[in-house]
A and B are shown apart, each in its own frame.
Chain A
């Protein structure tokens, strides 16, 4: 059972906009910034969004994210087939004194 809650799956058709939610509590998302990672099968996770809404260089602006209170969300617009992957959110948890992750959301492009 992951500390941060994500839907196990999400889907969309090419060109659509999809959002993935990440729900936490006052000790994690409500306390610290949220980071998002993308993982393709058989590869290591890659940073997608840092500090709630910042994109690392090389990440297209189709990817955006936000945080409000104890929840965060990742949005992907102009969905492409290559966006099929697992997406994870993460935040520092002040009560646990450690990093916590969401269980991951498998995105399928129909």
Chain B
């Protein structure tokens, strides 16, 4: 069965960086992209970007461009999301999800499996 298992909670000081991992299993890792979504306490979902596990192409939300780097390690079927120059506004639960797609003439995309989430707390 498909599983995405994320790394544990992190505590960082303002200005620091954090790197969250997301280990996939139960499917061919290079077939689908991995997206990262975050959720601040009591808030909604915010898409941060995606990375193709096939060709390593990335697409970052404008808000995070220059501050985020998404990578994958196909040898371990693991995706990583690094966020730099952290502020208290970055305190959130960070999720990875698989971006499934299907279709022929047109393609349809959705997030069908999610990791359990990683709480990142930014505090001095």
Q: Footprint of B on A, CB under 8 Å? A: 2, 33, 35, 37, 44-47, 50-51, 56, 88, 90, 92, 96-104
Contacts and interface: CB of A to CB of B under 8 A. Distances in A.
Interface string B32-60: 00010100000011110100000000010
B55 to A, nearest CB: 18
B112 interface: yes
Contacts of A88: 44-45
Given A44-B114, A45-B95, A97-B59, A104 B108 contact: no
A47 B59 contact: no
A33 B109 CA distance: 8
A49 B44 CA distance: 18
A55 B116 CA distance: 22
Contact of A2 (B44, B110, B111): B44
Chain A interface main SS type: strand
Classify chain B: how many residues form its interface, as a range: 20 to 34
Given A47-B110, A50-B108, A99 B47 contact: yes
B61 interface: yes
Contacts of A100: 47
A33 to B, nearest CB: 6
B115 interface: yes
Contacts of B108: 33, 50-51
Nearest to B116: A44
Interface in B69-124: 95, 97, 108-112, 114-117
Contacts of B97: 45
Contacts of B49: 98
B114 A101 contact: no
Contact of B115 (A44, A51, A104): A44
